[in-house]
Amino acid sequence: EGEGQVTCWGDAADGRTAPPPGPHVALAVGRDFACAIDAASALACWGAMPNGEAQVPAGAFTQLSAGDGFACALDETGAAVCWGRRGEFSQPP
């Protein structure tokens, strides 16, 4: 579609194929969910998120990664922030 727009397909359960409107500048895909950084540097996640993946931190972010039940991002200061897996990743490294 348009530049920076995310398009998903496949199993539509739990909103897995319903990303928020863009534009987005980064995308990371976990097991059954995905997250993106939008043009304003904010995070959004969608899909199946039983481990707390939907509890996206507020702030401005520059990089993003996702795994099996968790996601991590770097904020504008370079600090790592992780969430998901029922809070197991809520403490900074």
Please report, in tens digits, the pLDDT of each residue of the chain (93 residues total).
578 888 888 887 787 777 888 899 999 998 889 999 999 999 999 888 887 777 888 999 999 999 888 999 999 999 999 988 866 665 554
Q: What is the pTM of this model?
A: 0.83
**Does some domain include residue 2?**
no
CB 81 within 8 A of CB 89: no
Beta bridge partners of 44: 36
CB 18 within 8 A of CB 8: yes
- State the total domains in the chain: 1
**Does some domain include residue 5?**
no
Domain that holds residue 59: 13-87
Q: What's residue 55's pLDDT? A: 82
Q: What's residue 20's pLDDT? A: 84
Question: Which residues, including other chains, have CB under 8 Å from residue 81's CB and lie 6 or more apart?
Answer: 57, 59, 61, 72, 73, 74, 75, 92
Closest CA to 55 of 31, 71, 37: 71
**Does some domain include residue 3?**
no
